[in-house]
Chains A and B, each alone.
Chain A
Amino acid sequence: QQKVQQSPESLIVPEGGMASLNCTSSDRNVDYFWWYRQHSGKSPKMLMSIFSNGEKEEGRFTVHLNKASLHTSLHIRDSQPSDSALYLCAASGAGNTGKLIFGLGTTLQVQP
């Protein structure tokens, strides 16, 4: 069973719309969550990280974390065609933040 589960598997939003992506860990030993974005044929690039309960905003991107349920979500407002990519959620433990457990990803397509 996948320890990090993402939903939806794929998502289509219109340009200017809001995209909401979800991620839950079934491993209670995780403490940190990461969101990576991977454009087709490119390497994953870290988008945002969140370690504490609550919300974190950077530009058009907002992440939420509920540590009790080990659920995080990524919201992209005013989506642009350049946001079209595979979005990967990863989790890691506090003692080893670099050992990332990835989900299968959500493929986002922003339609002009």
Chain B
Amino acid sequence: EAGVTQSPRYAVLQEGQAVSFWCDPISGHDTLYWYQQPRDQGPQLLVYFRDEAVIDNSQLPSDRFSAVRPKGTNSTLKIQSAKQGDTATYLCASSFGTEVFFGKGTRLTVV
């Protein structure tokens, strides 16, 4: 069974630039999550979807971050006008039931 697929694996931006991250969850998983993991810390939930609906985006910095999952399958997380504080690994995860499976993440560096 294929796992959660993310791209790109790495991104390096200057402050003020925009970037998009793409996620393909495990087939059949109805719930998709985006987490932000700063270096040497635990992941922090940004937003999650059930099918195409946003269930919780309370931790998503809405002025610069946006996330969509239009058909309830793939998802895109976008950062407008990146800041150095956004430097982190962005993990996508999916679930159907109790266990959550993570992708390999996109490591973002903002210089």
CA distance A42 to B4 in the complex (A): 13
Known A43-B105, A98-B33, A99-B48; contact A104-B100, beta-carbon cutoff 8 A: no
| Distance from B3 Cβ to chain A, minimum over Cβ atoms (Å) | 9
Question: For the complex, is A7 an interface residue (Cβ under 8 Å from B)?
Answer: no
Question: For the complex, is B40 an interface residue (Cβ under 8 Å from A)?
Answer: yes
CA distance A97 to B97 in the complex (A): 8
Known A42-B104, A98-B31, A98-B48; contact A88-B99, beta-carbon cutoff 8 A: no
| Distance from A107 Cβ to chain B, minimum over Cβ atoms (Å) | 7
| A43-B99 in contact (CB<8A) | no
- Secondary structure at the A interface, as helix, strand, loop or mixed, is strand
Taking beta carbons and an 8 Å cutoff, which residues of B are in contact with A? 31, 33, 40-45, 48, 56, 91, 95, 97-105
| B100-A46 in contact (CB<8A) | yes
Taking beta carbons and an 8 Å cutoff, which residues of A are in contact with B? 4, 32, 34, 42-46, 49, 86, 88, 90, 97-105, 107
CA distance A96 to B41 in the complex (A): 23
| Distance from A86 Cβ to chain B, minimum over Cβ atoms (Å) | 7
Known A42-B104, A43-B103; contact A98-B91, beta-carbon cutoff 8 A: no
Q: Which residues of B contact A46 (CB under 8 A)?
A: 99-101
Known A32-B98, A43-B91; contact A100-B105, beta-carbon cutoff 8 A: no
